[in-house]
Structure 1
Amino acid sequence: MGTSDHDDPGSRHDGRQFDLNGRPMVPRRWETLRRAMIGGRAAPRDVLTVTDRDVVVVGESDDEAASSSSILDASTLRPADQAVVRHVLALPDDGVEAAVGLAALDEYEAIPVDVVADRFAIPEGLAPVVLARVQLVDALHLSQERSRMASLASRHSGVAVGWQIVQRPR
């Protein structure tokens, strides 16, 4: 990943490359030279962002015991294409800002709650928070991210209530 001669689906709108964990990758010398000579950014309409509304849900779950692989196997996910992974947390009001700040360290952004509509039940007394980022998705990395989000919510006296993956329709 990041060494091919075409735009990698793991790239983000600013031209940086990201691995399956959403962490920035340093391009190899050949890739840096190629981009300098012929360019390497995707066309603006091809770039997926966490706030895009022209996406469809390809997989989701509110069952913390369901395995990521079983949900993805039953989904319409296109693994080679970028996707937005949205984690829905329920947090006390006084823990939202700190949780969002910590998630930002892993390139997550808080997005409006209305993007997940009423698909997830939020326990009474807690505020819904949706954290999202663009990445490539596979079962292993999705499981890791689900665990991270559950831990993040727990550390702030909340719970992870579900997740969803969205992609642009073909």
Structure 2
Amino acid sequence: MVVVRMWRRWFGGHARSLDPARADLVVVASGFDDAQACSAVLDRATELDREAEAVLRHHLRLPAEQIDAACEIAGYDGYTRAEAPAAETGALVPVILQRVQLLDPLTCSQERSRMAGLAQRHDGVADGWDALQPPRTGL
């Protein structure tokens, strides 16, 4: 099974089936502490189905004038902008970038680092990430 997952990840051997707009998605893992490794967060995520796709969301705060540029760059890697919570007062605007993917500690860590760099290059901050999946049934 591991070989099949690696093959799919490398060569895109299947269509994305999880719709990020589904109303029944729930947070199954989240990492908002820079000191915690993604592997530790995922190990504690008892509701995460590691064999199924998840919506990986990165929570950033960016200056308003940098949002379009940051979203364009993230779009090259398949990220789309999701609806963010109402903006708080201050210079930075909350932005959520998301994409559907299989989650494992390595790719999660790579994407976390990538988003931190993207935010920094656009004068913002990466607050953290979370992953959403439909609730598991039949447990």
TM > 0.5 fold call: yes
Structure 1 stretches (4+) deviating beyond 6 angstroms?
Answer: none
The corresponding residue for 1:56 is 26
Q: What is the TM-score normalised by the length of structure 1? A: 0.70
The corresponding residue for 1:153 is 119
Unaligned 5+ residue runs, structure 2?
Answer: none
Is 1:99 matched with 2:74? no
The structure-2 alpha-carbon separation of the partners of 1:52 and 1:93, relative to structure 1 and needing over 3 Å to count, comes to same
> Which structure would you say has the larger RCO, counting Cα contacts within 8 Å and 6 or more residues apart?
2
Deviation at 1:162, TM superposition (A): 1.1
Structure 1 segment 125-140 matched on structure 2, within 5 A: 125-140=91-106
Please provide the CA RMSD for this pair: 2.7
1:59-111 CA distance string (max 9 Å, x none): 01211121001111111211101100000000000100000000000000001
Deviation at 1:124, TM superposition (A): 3.1
CA distance in 2, matches of 1:147, 1:164: 14
Tell which structure's C-alpha radius of gyration is larger: 1
The structure-2 alpha-carbon separation of the partners of 1:123 and 1:143, relative to structure 1 and needing over 3 Å to count, comes to farther
The corresponding residue for 2:57 is 86
The structure-2 alpha-carbon separation of the partners of 1:144 and 1:41, relative to structure 1 and needing over 3 Å to count, comes to closer
CA distance in 2, matches of 1:108, 1:93: 18
Deviation at 1:146, TM superposition (A): 0.1
Q: Identity over the aligned pairs, expressed in percent?
A: 41
SS of the residue 1:113 aligns to: coil
Unaligned 5+ residue runs, structure 1?
Answer: 11-16, 28-39
